[in-house]
Amino acid sequence: MKNVLSHIEAIVMGGGAIGFEEALTLVKHEDLSGLLAAANRIRKHFCGNHADLCTIMNAKSGRCTENCRYCAQSGHYSTGIEVYDLAGFSDVLTLAKENEQSGVHRFSLVTSGTSLSDEEFRQMVAIYKRLDEETGLALCASLGSISTDRAVQLLEAGVTTYHHNVETSRSFFPAICTTHTYDSRIATIKAVQAAGLAVCSGGIIGMGESMEQRIEMAFELKALGIRSIPINILNPIKGTPLENAEKLDPKEILRTIAIFRFIHPSGSIRYAGGRNALGHYQFQGLQGGVNALLTGNYLTTTGNDIRGDLILLTEAGYTV
């Protein structure tokens, strides 16, 4: 098996691409430490030691009409989260400035719901224009399903990247959401790309999908040309259908991350929501394929302290 790992690593390091069957071989590789080390060498070769830090603000919370089985903000479930309408510019700027001063590179506004109304979208464009003028942050947006026309407006307002997760693989998607389709998510990604915005897209692991389906998702993201891939780990929320989901073993999470690096050698593999499930293994992930972090508090859960993440990155040999 060691020779098989060396062979697959050599393919990637030489600029080649591995296929689905080769990725499955990595699932069965018994030496996890060796797999992580190989993924780390691939990361260093293609990406160097720079780590990208982003943070998000929940700019509109709750009342979502979709029934995604993991989501605290779905109106289909009773989760007790705070519900509020679109945030004002003053609150947005305060948080953006705090994050910028803490050393964060990117800042994103995230809104609940399928999409924003015309008036809400006009307000959001105005907010982004002012953020672009008053901060030095790279601006990202996650506003649900949008058209190419709306994406162009965001681009002109200073937004550089649009975030829209596929959430899981095509084959598993119907098991987590029935109010919209996987193809509708792909349509938004392609509409954004047509406008000239970069796309950040990944998913959640630990929702009951198989390792094969995670790999399927990784290849689907590759086919879409995605360069920034957040990997979320399910944080079971009381009141959602997945509240009793079995938590993943940290070593399975690390293996998943390493395999994503083999499939996306030059991309940003991003620690995202739920990474506290790794505990002290977070450090191993940073030396096993991860080279970007979502930091600070997340949408409806507590995240990681920015200062602590900066220390963790430095200890792992990264520059920020």
What CATH number does residue 155 fall under? 3.20.20.70
Q: Name the residue among 275, 212, 208 with its Cα closest to residue 245.
A: 208
Strand-pairing partners, residue 162, are 141, 199
Q: How confident is the model at residue 178 (pLDDT cuts 50, 70, 90)?
A: very high
Q: How confident is the model at residue 276 (pLDDT cuts 50, 70, 90)?
A: confident
- Is residue 255 within 8 A of residue 27, CB to CB? The reply is yes
The answer to whether residue 63 sits within a structural domain is yes
CA dihedral 307, 160, 139, 118 (to 10 degrees): -140
What are the structure tokens assigned to 236, written together?
Answer: 């079971």
Cα–Cα distance for residue pair 19/12, rounded to 1 Å: 11
Cβ neighbors of 249 (< 8 A, separation 6 or more) are: none
Residue 234 belongs to what domain range?
2-315
The answer to whether residue 132 sits within a structural domain is yes
Segment 55-76 shows an average pLDDT of: 92
The answer to whether residue 320 sits within a structural domain is no
What pLDDT was estimated at residue 300?
44
What pLDDT was estimated at residue 301?
44
The answer to whether residue 204 sits within a structural domain is yes
Q: End-to-end distance of the chain based on CA atoms, in angstroms?
A: 36
Residue 296 scores a pLDDT above 90: no
The answer to whether residue 167 sits within a structural domain is yes
DSSP 176: T
H-helix segments, 110-249: 118-134, 148-156, 182-195, 211-223
What pLDDT was estimated at residue 297?
57
Question: Exposed/middle/buried for 141, CB within 10 Å: 0-12, 13-18, 19+?
Answer: buried
- CA 215, 218, 222, 223 torsion: positive or negative? positive
Residue length, the chain? Answer: 320
What are the structure tokens assigned to 272, written together?
Answer: 């995202």
Cα–Cα distance for residue pair 142/110, rounded to 1 Å: 5
For the stretch 88-103, pLDDT in tens is 999 999 999 999 998 8
What pLDDT was estimated at residue 91?
93
Taking the complete model, does pTM exceed 0.85, yes or no?
Answer: yes
Strand-pairing partners, residue 58, are 110
Asked which of 44-48, 66-70, 251-255, 292-296 is least confident by mean pLDDT, the reply is 292-296
Segment 122-133 shows an average pLDDT of: 97
Number of domains in the chain: 1
What are the structure tokens assigned to 297, written together?
Answer: 């508090």
The answer to whether residue 264 sits within a structural domain is yes
Q: How confident is the model at residue 304 (pLDDT cuts 50, 70, 90)?
A: low
Q: Estimate the crossing angle of helix 250-263 against helix 2-13, to 10 degrees.
A: 40
What are the structure tokens assigned to 190, written together?
Answer: 């392609």
Strand-pairing partners, residue 232, are 204
